[in-house]
Amino acid sequence: MNRIWFYVIVCLQALFLILMSMSYYTMDTWGESIRLKTAPVDPRDPFYGDYVTLSYEVELVPSEKWNISADIGSREKVYLLLEPGENDLYTLVQASAEKPDVSGAEVVLPARFDWHDSQREVYTVDIGMDRYFIEEGTGQQYEQNREDLIVEVIVAPWGQKKINSVTTSE
C-alpha cells in the first residue's frame, strides 16, 4: 500500500469534514443576512422538545409566481428569488427551476419542492430551516407568538444558510 497516497486520502477526508464545519462559521463574514416572516405551522403544536418548528411565508408559492413546469417531482430542487420589502422583510419574487440572475438587493434561496395544493393554488416548498433549537424553558415565548415571528437567516454565496436569530415581530 502506497503510504503517501493513503495519507493524502485520509487528509482529504478530514479536510472535507473541516471545510463543512468551517463554511458554517465563515458564513457570518461572507453571507448576506435576510429577515423572513414565519407562516402558521402545520402540525398544530409547533413546540417539540428543545426546538420550535418553523414555517415561512416564502415557502408558500402562489401559482402566478411559480415559473416551473407542472411535472416537477417531489423533493426536486427549486430556486426562490427574494427581494427586500416592507420593514426590511424579504418577500418572494418568483420560484424557478434554474438559478435566476440576481440584481440589486435580491437574494436566491435554494429550496425543495414539497407538494402542490391545487385548491388553494399554492405550491409548498421547503427551504430546509424548519427547526430552531432553543434554550430549555423558553419555548413558551415562541409558542405564543408563533404565527408572526421574524427569523433572521444568513445566506452564504455558496447556497448554505443558517438561522441567526428568531424574534417576535413587535
Q: Which of residues 8-37 bind other proteins (CB under 8 A)?
A: 9-10, 13-14, 16-18, 20-21, 23-24
**Cell (9 digits) for 130:** 424548519
Shortest separation between residue 58's beta carbon and other proteins, angstroms: 15
Distance CA 71, CA 157 (A): 29
Shortest separation between residue 103's beta carbon and other proteins, angstroms: 25
Does position 76 interact with other proteins (CB under 8 A)? The reply is yes
Site string for other proteins, 44-73 (x = CB under 8 A): ------x----------------------x
**Closer Cβ to other proteins, 77 or 120, answer by number:** 77
Distance CA 95, CA 100 (A): 9
First to last CA, the chain: 64
Neighbours of 13 (CB within 10 A): 10
Q: Which of 29, 69, 74, 144 binds other proteins (CB under 8 A)?
A: 74
Q: Which residue blocks in 89-166 are alpha helix, DSSP H? A: 139-144
Element (H, E) at 82: strand 77-84
Shortest separation between residue 15's beta carbon and other proteins, angstroms: 9
Distance CA 98, CA 151 (A): 26
Distance CA 92, CA 101 (A): 14
Does position 1 interact with other proteins (CB under 8 A)? The reply is yes
What are the residues binding other proteins (CB under 8 A)?
1-3, 5-7, 9-10, 13-14, 16-18, 20-21, 23-24, 50, 73-77, 110, 112, 127-129, 160-163
